[in-house]
Amino acid sequence: MRLLFAYIDPGAGSLVIQAIIATVVSIPFFFRNAIRSMVAKFRGKPQPVDEKGAAPPDPE
């Protein structure tokens, strides 16, 4: 098995819980994105994908 290369300690417990949380939250994530893409298709224009637009854009 491959070693995880990281100069910071990712923490064993943090990695384990991250995998569990990621699995659980991927279910609503999947459905939300599916609904969005359906709405986008229906409206005929592209909708921003869920995770984009995270921070307010820098208007510079």
Task: Summarize as ranges the residues that interact with other proteins (CB under 8 A).
Answer: 1-4, 6-19, 21-26, 29-30, 50-52, 54-60
The residue (of 12 and 44) whose beta carbon lies closer to other proteins is: 12
Closest contact distance (angstroms) between CB of 10 and other proteins is 5
Q: What share of the chain is helix, strand, coil (3-state, %, to 5)?
A: 55, 0, 45
The residue (of 43 and 52) whose beta carbon lies closer to other proteins is: 52
Cβ-contact 29, 50 below 8 angstroms: yes
User: Hey, CA dihedral for 50, 52, 58, 60, is it positive or negative?
Assistant: negative
Closest contact distance (angstroms) between CB of 33 and other proteins is 9
